[in-house]
Amino acid sequence: MARLKTDLTTARTFAAALESSVKDGFKLHNPVVATWLDEEAIKEADQRTEKARNYINHLHRVLWRVDEQHHVPEDAPEDVCRCGVAADECPTFRALDQVREKLYKWEREELERLKKGWQHNLPKEHPEVPKYDHSDWRRPA
Ligand SMILES: [Zn+2]
């Protein structure tokens, strides 16, 4: 199995080098092809960036939903997690500590977008969404 993986990696590396070499050859002899290949490379990079951005937003929505069930509400008498357990004894609350700051930063930025009437990535059940978002467009879950 390990050998098969090594062979596959070697074949992929060879194929990528071959593809790159062919593209470079075309670019040298034809400036139109060179421009087209560069534009295609930019388009592909943009598509990869967009996919990564969508995935990061999806993960933030998942984390936001988990945090909704495991945070200390402002009106809580002490450090009691919303799930009813002391915050320092709730493993989910503690796990979220590592990402909470970035999660809330993302939420603040998305709230700004929402309030400006721009497309945003907040979950549809976010309490602020019905106050500002009156569009019909469907947001990914
Ligand atoms: Zn909890």
What pLDDT tens digit does each residue of the chain (141 aa) get?
Answer: 788 889 999 999 999 988 888 888 878 888 888 888 889 999 999 999 999 999 999 999 999 999 999 999 988 778 999 999 999 999 999 999 999 999 999 999 999 999 999 999 999 999 999 999 777 555 555
What residues are neighbours of ligand 1 (ion), with CB under 5 Å? 70, 81, 83, 90, 92-93
pTM exceeds 0.75 for this model: no
Task: Give 15-64 as a DSSP string.
Answer: HHHHHHHHHHHHHHH-HHHHHHHHHHHHHHHHHHHHHHHHHHHHHHHHHH
Ligand 1 centroid – CA 74 distance (Å): 15
Helix (H), strand (E), coil (C) string for 73-111: CCCCCCCECCCCCEHHHCHHHHHHCCCHHHHHHHHHHHH
> pLDDT at position 140, please?
53
- Residue 111, in any domain of the structure: yes
> pLDDT at position 119, please?
93
Conformational region of residue 117, where left means phi above 0, alpha means psi within -120 to 50, and beta covers everything else: left
Ligand 1 centroid – CA 65 distance (Å): 12
- Residue 137, in any domain of the structure: no
> pLDDT at position 141, please?
52
- Residue 10, in any domain of the structure: yes
- Residue 98, in any domain of the structure: yes
Written as six digits, the tokens of 101 are 């700051």
- Residue 139, in any domain of the structure: no
Number of domains in the chain: 1
For residue 74, give its domain range: 2-132
Ligand 1 centroid – CA 54 distance (Å): 27
Ligand 1 centroid – CA 85 distance (Å): 6
> pLDDT at position 4, please?
86
- Residue 140, in any domain of the structure: no
- Residue 63, in any domain of the structure: yes
- Residue 141, in any domain of the structure: no
